[in-house]
Amino acid sequence: MLSDIGAGCALGLYRLAGRISQPAIRAHLRRRARRGREDPARLAERFGRSDRARPPGPLVWLHGASVGEALSSLPLIERLLADRPGLNLLLTTGTVTSAALMAERLPSGVIHQYAPLDLGPAVEAFLEHWRPNLGLIIESELWPNLLTAAHRRGIELMLLNGRMSNKSYRSWRRLRPLSQRLLGLFSQVLAQSPQDQERLRALGARDPLYLGNLKFAAPALSADPAELAALRDALGTRPCWLAASTHPGEEQIIARVHARLAGKHPGLVTLIAPRHPDRGPEIESALAAEGQEIALRSRGRTIGPETAIYLADTIGELGLWYRLAEVVFVGRSLVSKGGQNPLEPARLNSAILIGPNSANFTHIVEAMKRAGAIAEVGDGDALADAVERLLRDGDTRAAMSQAAKHYAEAEAEVLEAVLGALAPSLDRLTGSG
């Protein structure tokens, strides 16, 4: 009873804050659109409105926050299309980068929309228009208005690849009555690691299961063969390494690592693929004082004889850079941001380095360290030492890359397990079983 009262009060305050702040939120979205962080032509979708018609028949709605969640959903989407031809599929995400990537990667017939803001009117408009029969929420998107409105409409909800980082867990523990109510709306909770399973249980999920991590089911990132050949020709025999998915504060560290190593490795090329490609000009300005020759791919530049740092500031080409560089640093981990997915380079024969801040992927990173598939570096100096060692030592580089590839293939059966868990609900929708 006390838990219900506490959860009700928290929801009431959350909804009141949302109503009061709507004008500020609209202004914030317009500012983000001017900076390229929102799509001006599709802002209506953020308020639940769409110019796309809902297709007839059962509709399964999948929702993930950004690129990582969307990519992890692709193998599931492809299997649902193949195994359940009567289903319509809708994927929602919240970022411009994920929308651009999904425009290239989503199978034909799957609809992408921007997720509605978690405001009452936006959520109601979205659910009224799309009327999903089943909602598959990926990882950690526990939006109170969205989940409670969907449940109120009788939409079955499942949490797939559920994740709860240290920071999120501490926050939700202080709001356990609310977390218990929200997690209780899911008919099934599938965690992506045993640690996430226990955290979700502690926060109120009923009988969460660990069947594996859907990120293991994702195929290797693709690359255009002609572009890859052209880049290899431009690079020639010059040594190179890649800093992937970098965030603000990391690019300057990478540039200093390059300066330290350039004298030891003549012709060294450092590739930087920022997590948010629209930051390319900003990164170029920040690195201008370092004195190295910088080229931006977004401006049509390629790797020339004088290029020292090549900014791969384009969307959907990360598979190119993982194939081009045998030594890869996975960013968002030298700054306190939680890291990025190391399985992507692991599938493409990379010797992988990562910083100490990888809380979003703790289970994977720790297991990869035990397998000799990844090395952790504490700071820029340690990164320089590790890159230097791997550029020189081909045997160590090969051993790490082989261990990483083996680890990435270790849970290939996870997709079948997840599909098995979804089967009863999907059978009810399609009239099979």
User: What DSSP string runs through 195-232?
Assistant: HHHHHHHHTT-SS-EE---GGGGSPPPP--HHHHHHHH
Which residue in 369, 381, 368, 354 sits closest to 407, CA to CA?
368
Report yes or no on 263 lying in a domain. yes
Looking up residue 363, the CATH number of its domain turns out to be 3.40.50.2000
Nearest to 318 by CA among 359, 347, 290: 347
Q: How many domains does the chain have?
A: 2
Q: Which residue has the tokens 């509709």?
A: 59
Regarding whether 418 and 384 lie in a shared domain, the answer is no
Residue 78 lies in a domain: yes
- 160 near 72, Cβ under 8 Å? no
What is the Cα Rg of the chain in Å?
A: 23
Same domain for 265 and 395?
Answer: yes
Q: What angle, 0 to 180 degrees and rounded to 10, lies between the N-to-C axes of helices 166-173 and 194-202?
A: 10
Q: How far is CA 403 from the centre of its chain?
A: 23
Residues of the chain with pLDDT under 50: 1-2
Q: Alpha-carbon distance 337 to 249, whole Å?
A: 11
Shared domain check, 424 and 286: no
Query: Are 89 and 198 part of one and the same domain?
Result: yes
Is 376 catalytic? The answer is: no
Are residue 23 and residue 149 in the same domain, yes or no? yes
Q: HSE of 428 in the Cβ direction (CA atoms, 13 Å)?
A: 8
Same domain, 161 and 271: no
Is the residue at 364 inside a domain?
A: yes
3-state secondary structure (DSSP) of residue 62: strand
* 164: amino acid identity, one letter: M
Residue 106 resides in a domain: yes
Q: Which two tokens stand for residue 267?
A: 């012709």
Token pair in block for residue 277? 């490609």
- Structure-token pair, residue 234: 């431009």
pTM: 0.83
Read off the tokens for 312.
């791969």
- Domain hosting residue 269, numbered range: 225-408
Residues 169 and 239 in one domain: no
Q: Are strands 240-246 and 327-330 parallel, antiparallel or unpaired?
A: parallel
Return the DSSP state at 154: T
Distinct helix (H) and strand (E) counts, the chain = 18, 14
110 — phi, psi (to 5°)?
-85, 130
Same domain, 182 and 199: yes
What gap in Å lies between CA 143 and CA 150, rounded to an integer? 11
Query: Look-up: residue for tokens 């909602």?
Result: 135
Is 373 a member of any domain?
yes
26 lies in the same domain as 117: yes
Residues 131 and 254 in one domain: no
Are residues 321 and 176 located together in one domain of the fold? no
Strand-pairing partners, residue 90, are 61, 111
Catalytic residue among 69, 139, 251, 284: 69
The answer on 129 and 35 residing in a single domain is yes
> At 12, which CATH number?
3.40.50.11720
Do the domain assignments include residue 220?
no
218 within some domain: no
Tens of pLDDT along 363-395? 899 999 999 999 999 999 999 999 999 999 999
* 30 domain-assigned: yes
pLDDT for the residue 411:
81
